[in-house]
Amino acid sequence: MQSRMASILRLKYRPTALIWTDEKPAKALELKPGRWGCVMFFLAGVLKGKTAVFSRQTYGCWGGGVGLGFGNMYQAFPGGEECFHFFLSSGNKGSEQGRVVGENIREAGLEDFYHDFMEGEGYLKSPEHVRSFVNLLPIIEVPAEYVVLKPLDEADEEKDSVQVVTFMADADQLCALVVLANHGRHSFENVSIPFVAGCQSMALLPYAEAHRDEPRAVVGLMDPSARKHLRRMLEPGLMSFSMPLSLFKEMENNIDESFLFRNTWKAIAGEDRE
């Protein structure tokens, strides 16, 4: 599958395709079962031409398991979902259970995780806010054994069950993508910028958008933890822009009559992008 948008916008990185499949691709990047890892580590590899595969045993972290569509993996968080509510907000240091679980984390040598577990990441105000956050997530069990990320131009639409297409964009490119997502609609809020985990903005939320009459795109990497991991491998300042397949096709079909060939965009895309 090819993307004219990616070519016209001169994206630095090839778009990625997210695929549901029951066949595990050969030589794909994958974690060992039960081992911790961030989906962002694998995204960086895919942006550089690799293929990555995830399963219910190799999803990496609890938010990643939720984000990729393997059910409510927050229930498997150390200490259970209740400890996750405190982890994302005010920390587990105030509860006896939290202190016990925290010591087990520390004894395992996970000092950074121990600090965040005990003090809290502070992303939401309280455990009650996190509980609402989790309840509102469109958590699903994908109807496949594997979720695969690969470069879009290596995906075959006739053979691959492509669910989501993701671009990595700078500020100007993101501006263009937002405008193009609205180009063929009788409304102007056709792009969502939610606070969710980085992988959730590239998979779980676009899965849900695909069921809307007019699917929206999802801008991601509004997760500081994801940005921290990615900045070790890619330059800072990039945002993700994820589209259900139907919206990707809609945007591709609207290119020729759009602003992309008018003077304003030509001025933006001029000397700075040569």
pLDDT tens sequence for the chain (274 residues): 999 999 999 999 999 999 999 999 999 999 999 888 899 999 999 999 999 999 999 998 999 999 999 999 999 999 999 999 999 999 999 999 999 999 999 999 999 999 999 999 999 999 999 999 999 999 999 999 999 999 999 999 999 999 999 999 999 999 999 999 999 999 999 999 999 999 999 999 999 999 999 999 999 999 999 999 898 889 889 999 999 999 999 999 999 999 999 999 999 988 544 4
Q: What is the DSSP string of 225-248?
A: HHHHHHTTTS-TT-EEEEEEHHHH
Distance CA 60, CA 65 (A): 7
Of the candidates 243, 230, 248, the one whose C-alpha atom is nearest the C-alpha of residue 45 is 230
Q: What are the residue ranges spanned by the domains of the chain?
A: 4-64+143-264, 72-136
